[in-house]
Amino acid sequence: MKLLPEQRERLQAFLEDARSRLAVKLEAADGAAKIQFKPWTRPEGGGGTMAVLRGAVVEKAGVNISSVSGPEYPAMEGEHRGKPFTAAGLSTIAHMMNPHAPIAHMNVRMLEVGDSFWIGGGADLTPFIEYEDDTREFHAAMAEACKSWAPDCHPRFRAWCDEYFYIPHRQSRRGVGGIFFDYLEGDFDRCLGFMKALTDAYTDVYPRILERRKAMLWTEVEKEGQLYWRGRYAEFNLAWDRGTRFGLMTGGNTEAIFVSLPPTVKW
């Protein structure tokens, strides 16, 4: 079933509201820097807004929303290949100056292809220095959000995340995990409700973790280690991430796509 115009408007309003609420939290975590907004348009259809924060505490964070469309869905195979599509979503990533504060990522998206639609997304935590209470609190927040979709889906989505964020050439996972899901179909209100539950949970839990870690003292050895650890994050996003490939294949904004990459990194 295709989305109704009213449903597309509700989706867009949700994405803008979620972006705004998370932007406020990230600005508060930094304490001084302000997010810079940069709208963009796509000649083939659609566009979005790139929002980037660069500060002394939040070294680099992006909170992007986009809605792109085209005559042919860029799938390599499957029943949806070559059909008209629209993809709308929010993606956020934060790299902190302090090596004790974890990288975190979250995205939600709704795709309409031909006469069907589905949602995908997830959230994960990537600390260089792991703290068990941070990991436990993050997973608890994700488990609570998953109840919006189904009471028993969290273990499956958590395992899916571990599988998705595995780096084959490093033979390791990218971080401590979270949740990942794709191709979830249902009525519009259920799908939008799960997207909202995830963005609400992330907007609540990640800033709380940052408050515990952003002012901790660190050594130059720890900072150097963080920069090398970020290399794995960059490697995954460039070599394996579906969202990066989809954005490039659909002619998205290159600057916005690569906002997920760390500001400084070493190999």
Q: Which positions are annotated as active-site residues? A: 105
Is residue 88 within 8 A of residue 109, CB to CB? The reply is yes
The two three-digit tokens of residue 88, written as one number: 């709308």
> Which pairs from 41-45 meet CB under 8 Å and 24+ separation?
42/68, 42/251, 42/252, 42/253, 43/251, 44/68, 44/69, 44/70, 44/250, 44/251, 45/69, 45/70
Which residue type, as a one-letter code, is found at position 102?
Answer: P
Helices (H), the chain: 5-30, 132-146, 154-164, 188-213, 220-239, 242-249, 254-257
Residues in the chain, how many? 267
Rounded distance, CA 209 to CA 101, Å?
8
The two three-digit tokens of residue 122, written as one number: 């997830």
